[in-house]
Amino acid sequence: MTRPPVYMDNHATTRVDPRVVEAMLPFFDSEFGNAASRTHMFGWRAEEAVTRARTRMARLIGADPKEIVFTSGATESNNLAIFGAFEALRSKGDHVVTGATEHNAVLDPVARLRTRGARVTVLPVDGHGRVDPDDLRRAITGGTVLVSLMFANNEVGTLHPLAEIGRICKERGVLFHSDAAQAAGKVPLDVQAIGVDLLSMSAHKVYGPKGVGALYVRRKNPRVILEPILFGGGHERGLRSGTLNVPGIVGFGAALEIAGSEMPEESRRVRALRDRLHEGIVKNLDDVVLNGHPVERLPNNLNLSFAGVEGEALMMALDGVAVSSGSACTSAKKEPSHVLRAMGRSDDQAVTSIRFGLGRFNTGDEVDQVAERVVGAVRRLRSISPMYEAARGGARISTR
């Protein structure tokens, strides 16, 4: 009997929650107005729906609704934060600090800033993928205008010590941006507690629709000024021109409200499933290494390296199980993960990794099935792998 497919790639994207779909549907037909149309009820009702979503979102992260700017997703939010802050502050300095394990939606814009005259410092991480706050403290200079460090890593799930990072940035008067695409709705997030000035989010990572995101922009202590990167109409208080995606925004607001109310129980349940999957694999296989922090990690993330087995080969052997070997945005590039390399893994170790992203709709039966299939596939691949034989023959297998 053919087994049904199992989806465990929830870091790449999530299924839209049926409750979110239900909230969105009216805004495709009966409530189809443009939120910028101020002269009739269709526009008014669309604007009211956007305002409700903005308020829901702000409540979840401890912000004021006026501090939420809607975008097309976290990539646009990151670009607006990075380019917008740098251009607005370049008269005060030209130095930007980021981390080696950031998503390319941060690393690429920061690299692009170099062509505009920016000086860039890329902080290293430890073997668990965490930035050392002391390294950040030493990196900040009188010319530093922006620090951009992610909330949670998209490959290994590691959480940076953001509250301490935020305190350092505040002490030095430097803007702090964080890409929270993976964290929002999964772990508690309070922009006041962590002292972040700019925060990027994406709906499709939290059981909402694709194509909509948001950027939190602090309005006081300090008031953050950004130079827009899109022009034409002055929407979103001039920070992001373009007709608002009302159905998507409504869905994003609904998704975050659900996540906020269900987070404690959902995190506990998903973490238990993740640990069950991990245990089901490691009790039946040797030479399996956990990538990422063992504790300070997203509750749904499990990134494992299987000595002697290339991740690509293992994914093919797991036909019908949706997992990945790293970021979905770079999966077409057949290169070892820059995240794992930054954590000190060799190229040979980095290419043996698989990322399991568990989620709201996974079950215990699916976890047990995936563990069984992983164990069987790894055993088969190792039996024909000269790479594994070489490792067993004396090459040290890192467990750092």
d(CA 81, CA 78): 5
Kindly tell me the burial class for residue 334, based on how many C-beta atoms sit within 10 Å of its own C-beta (0-12, 13-18, 19 or more). exposed
Alpha-carbon dihedral sign for residues 379, 380, 384, 387: negative
Place of tokens 């002055």: 234
d(CA 278, CA 150): 25
Q: Which is catalytic among the residues 111, 122, 329, 397?
A: 329
Q: Are 261 and 60 in contact (CB under 8 A)?
A: no
Q: Are 144 and 97 in contact (CB under 8 A)?
A: yes
Tokens for 281, please give them. Answer: 């694999």
329 catalytic residue (yes or no): yes
**Parallel/antiparallel/unpaired status of strands 198-202 and 213-217:** antiparallel
DSSP string, 4-41: PPEE-BTTT--PPPHHHHHHHGGGGTTT---TT--SSH
Closest to 60 measured CA to CA, from 186, 218, 148: 186
Tokens for 343, please give them. Answer: 């954590």
Q: Which positions are annotated as active-site residues?
A: 329
